[in-house]
Structure 1
Amino acid sequence: MKIACVGGGPAGLYFSILMKLQDPDHDITVHERNPAGSTYGWGVTYWGSLLDQLHEGDPESARAVKENSVRWSDGVAHVGDRTTTHHGDEGFGIGRRQLLDLLAERARSLGVRVEYEDEIADGDRLPDADLVVACDGVHSGVRERHSDHFGTEVGLGRNKYIWLGTTKVFDAFTFAFVETPHGWIWCYAYGFSADHSTCVVECSPETWTGLGLDRADETEGLVRLQELFVKLLDGHRLIGRANTGGSAQWLNFRTLTNRAWSHGNVVLLGDAAHTTHYSIGAGTTLALEDAIALAHSLRAEPELAPALAAYEKKRRAELLSVQSAARHSAQWYESLPRYIGLPPAQMFALLGQRHSPLLPYVPPQLYYRIDRAAGQLEALRRLKRWLGPKVARTLHAKRG
């Protein structure tokens, strides 16, 4: 099969790796519009379950990703002068550029052509291929050529956010909430290398304008944010994106869905097909899982149309719970005043429960008490399940 991947992000590169491993005779080209080594964003997060999936598909690239990742198991929340820590599951961070370099190197070693500064511009013909994979992001130019067929819908989130880097290295997934005269502003921060972390800053539109961030250029905005998060950053600086022309890159999150994911020999992958709010840290994972599912469907079904249909059906079903969690997570932050006044332990507990569809409809303190009671009940159930066989054996021995 001749395959063209339009977009050289993690999903397109990993899909090309899987297809080459399935059949070395596949003719695969990845068309990436940006120069080699350039990318937006800083670090990406993932969990151990993704490593398991990557290892199943290609142990070599999975080992490379794991060896170049940092890990944490704690979550820390700073709310004003109050701090609380939660011990949770192990998470991982890796620089987006590092991830792309690893996957591109692996793809090329298998015979994939990775072409940089190779943009498929509007009006240009799509590559001549049996399968064209549109993995060119939320603003996919390939998808927009057939927008009526794909039925793309985009909803804008209320809050403003900006994606930054910092030289402060965080050893836990860190939340920091700072109160200002214009409302709360907060950030999510996590390490992704030995010397850098990602720092995503978010606030309501009223806080954004009240602080003058809507009028500040990038340099002015970074100085203002460094002042606001001075305790968190501990003297380190924030870093903006290169090549922005001096403008600050504040955005409203775009939740994108499509009525259809394929059209003829064109199929959507990753953010071109769907997006999930950054606050659940799953975007890269979901894109890679798309790549895994598409490669599996193409292996299982020899005919293209049924294979693309099977891929779409599988991924739509798997995404339902994740998309619901992302939607409720975004709403939690948009309703921050409802939770921010709680004691730190309660606030952090409900931060962890922000994916719940019930939380918006139950008073926060009542929800916390119910959740605690349910947790204690589950602990008792686990104890009973553990004790039951032991008690039964003891009684049986005594009867004997």
Structure 2
Amino acid sequence: MEIACVGGGPAGLYLSILLKRDDPGHDVTVHERDPEGSTYGWGVTYWRPLLDALHRHDPESARAVEEHSVSWRDGVAHVGGATVRHRGDTGHGIGRHRLLEILAARARSLGVRLAYDDEITGAHPPAADLVVAADGAGSAVRGRHAGAFGTRVRPGRNRYLWLGTTKVFDAFTFAFTETAHGWIWAYGYGYGPAHSTCVVECAPETWTGLGLDRADEGEGLVLLEKLFAGLLDGHPLTTRPRPGGGPLPWQPFRTLTNRTWSHGNLVLLGDAAHTTHYSIGAGTTLALEDAAALAAALRVPRARRARPALSDALARYERERRAALLPVQSAARYSARFYENLPRYLALPPEQMFALLGQRHSPLLPYLPPRLYHRLDRAAGQFAPARALKRRLGRHLARTAQARALARADG
């Protein structure tokens, strides 16, 4: 097959690797609008199940990703003047730039053509048997057929901002700062020996009250460094260079869905197909899992010599990924809702607040008073009847939320 991947991010590059591994006869080109070596963002997070999956799909790239990643076990929350630390599952971080270097080098070694500085618009898609739109949430290729895909975008309430810092966090770190205009908070995690990602979020009234909507880049960074001085230990915050400068690129998170993921020989991958709230740290993981599922759907089964019909392969890919995404998307919705109602939880003692922070994906949490939920959660850890009650209530609410999500997607 001749396959064109539009977008040279992790999803497009990893798909090209798996397609060439499966069948060296595939003619695969990755079209990336930006120059090689340029990227947005700082670091990405992932957990052990993804690394295990990468080792199964392509051990060579997986070993390089693991070698260049950092890891942590603890979670830390700074709430006002208090600090709480908990031990959790091992998390990993890798610089986005490094991840793209690894995947691009592996793709080239397998014979994939990488075309940088090559912008593909929806009006002029590449001629190929299969065109993969892996060009992100703002996909120009998808946008040309937005009606056919049934694209919907729902903006969230809060404003957020991706930044970098030279402060190296030894744990996944949360910091909550109260101001005269409400709370503002940051998520920090390391992705290399000298750098970390720092995501800042606040309600819109806090954003405007602090003047962050009007501050230029320098003023905005100075204000944020003051607000999070205890977190940063004197290290600066940095932003991605942007032509013309201007205000920092604050924005609401946009949840993107599509009624269908394929249209003729065009298929959506990663953020072009779906987005999940950044607070669950799953965007890159889901994009790579999409790539693995699409490659598997296009693979010729060993028991057969004939390749599956393209329409059947794309339908299988979409069916499998939609099913896998349902619990993740549910968790993302509840996580976003937790932060949009953060003052509800910050009145708790720091230990209790941090415990509920770890439970923010729960469909039960928004419907119970926070203190009651905390008591039920503690009881569930000690008594089987309480665990059973919590599971039943959670499953009921999760099924209801999933049914509503499916109804919205179908509508």
Task: Please report the TM-score for the alignment, with normalisation by the length of structure 1.
Answer: 0.94
Mapped to 1, the partners of 2:17 and 2:38 lie a distance apart of 21
- Partners of 1:9 and 1:135 within 8 A in 2: yes
1:1-400 pair list within 5 angstroms: 1-123=1-123, 125-247=124-246, 248-299=248-299, 300=301, 302-377=308-383
Mapped to 1, the partners of 2:213 and 2:386 lie a distance apart of 52
User: Which residue identity lines up with residue 280 of structure 1 in the other structure?
Assistant: I
- Partners of 1:219 and 1:246 within 8 A in 2: no
Change (3 A) 1:378 1:238: farther
User: Which residue identity lines up with residue 238 of structure 1 in the other structure?
Assistant: L
- Partners of 1:10 and 1:99 within 8 A in 2: yes
Mapped to 1, the partners of 2:269 and 2:368 lie a distance apart of 37
User: Which residue identity lines up with residue 206 of structure 1 in the other structure?
Assistant: E
Mapped to 2, the partners of 1:121 and 1:259 lie a distance apart of 22
Instruction: Tell me the percent identity.
Output: 72
Structure 1 or 2, whichever has the larger Rg, is 1
Give the C-alpha shift of residue 2 in structure 1: 0.5
- Partners of 2:156 and 2:255 within 8 A in 1: yes
**What CA deviation, in whole Å up to 9, does each residue of 1:230-252 have, x standing for no partner?**
11000000001112522211010
Change (3 A) 1:379 1:196: farther
Give the C-alpha shift of residue 321 in structure 1: 0.4
User: Which residue identity lines up with residue 196 of structure 1 in the other structure?
Assistant: H
Mapped to 2, the partners of 1:352 and 1:321 lie a distance apart of 16
Change (3 A) 1:244 1:335: farther
Give the C-alpha shift of residue 103 in structure 1: 0.1
**What CA deviation, in whole Å up to 9, does each residue of 1:274-309 have, x standing for no partner?**
000000000000000000000011114621100000
User: Which residue identity lines up with residue 377 of structure 2 in the other structure?
Assistant: D
Give the C-alpha shift of residue 122 in structure 1: 4.6
Mapped to 1, the partners of 2:243 and 2:98 lie a distance apart of 21
User: Which residue identity lines up with residue 313 of structure 1 in the other structure?
Assistant: R
Q: Mean Cα displacement is larger for which, 267-276 or 246-255?
A: 246-255
3-state SS of 1:253 partner: strand
- Partners of 2:380 and 2:386 within 8 A in 1: no
**What CA deviation, in whole Å up to 9, does each residue of 1:14-38 have, x standing for no partner?**
0000000001111000000000110
- Partners of 2:152 and 2:258 within 8 A in 1: yes
Mapped to 2, the partners of 1:162 and 1:69 lie a distance apart of 23
- Partners of 1:184 and 1:203 within 8 A in 2: yes
Structure 1 segments (4+ residues) deviating >4 Å: 378-381
Mapped to 1, the partners of 2:65 and 2:52 lie a distance apart of 12
3-state SS of 1:118 partner: coil
User: Which residue identity lines up with residue 383 of structure 2 in the other structure?
Assistant: L
Gaps of 5+ in 1: 382-400
User: Which residue identity lines up with residue 190 of structure 1 in the other structure?
Assistant: Y
Mapped to 1, the partners of 2:211 and 2:229 lie a distance apart of 18
- Partners of 2:376 and 2:386 within 8 A in 1: no
Change (3 A) 1:337 1:313: same
User: Which residue identity lines up with residue 364 of structure 1 in the other structure?
Assistant: P
Task: Please report the TM-score for the alignment, with normalisation by the length of structure 2.
Answer: 0.91
**What CA deviation, in whole Å up to 9, does each residue of 1:58-99 have, x standing for no partner?**
000000000000000100000010010110000000000100
Give the C-alpha shift of residue 377 in structure 1: 2.3
Map of 2:406 onto structure 1: none
- Partners of 2:137 and 2:271 within 8 A in 1: yes
Give the C-alpha shift of residue 378 in structure 1: 5.3
User: Which residue identity lines up with residue 355 of structure 2 in the other structure?
Assistant: A
User: Which residue identity lines up with residue 220 of structure 1 in the other structure?
Assistant: E
3-state SS of 1:159 partner: strand
Mapped to 2, the partners of 1:379 and 1:19 lie a distance apart of 49
Mapped to 2, the partners of 1:122 and 1:193 lie a distance apart of 36
Supply the RMSD in Å over aligned alpha carbons: 1.3
Mapped to 1, the partners of 2:297 and 2:230 lie a distance apart of 50
3-state SS of 2:294 partner: helix
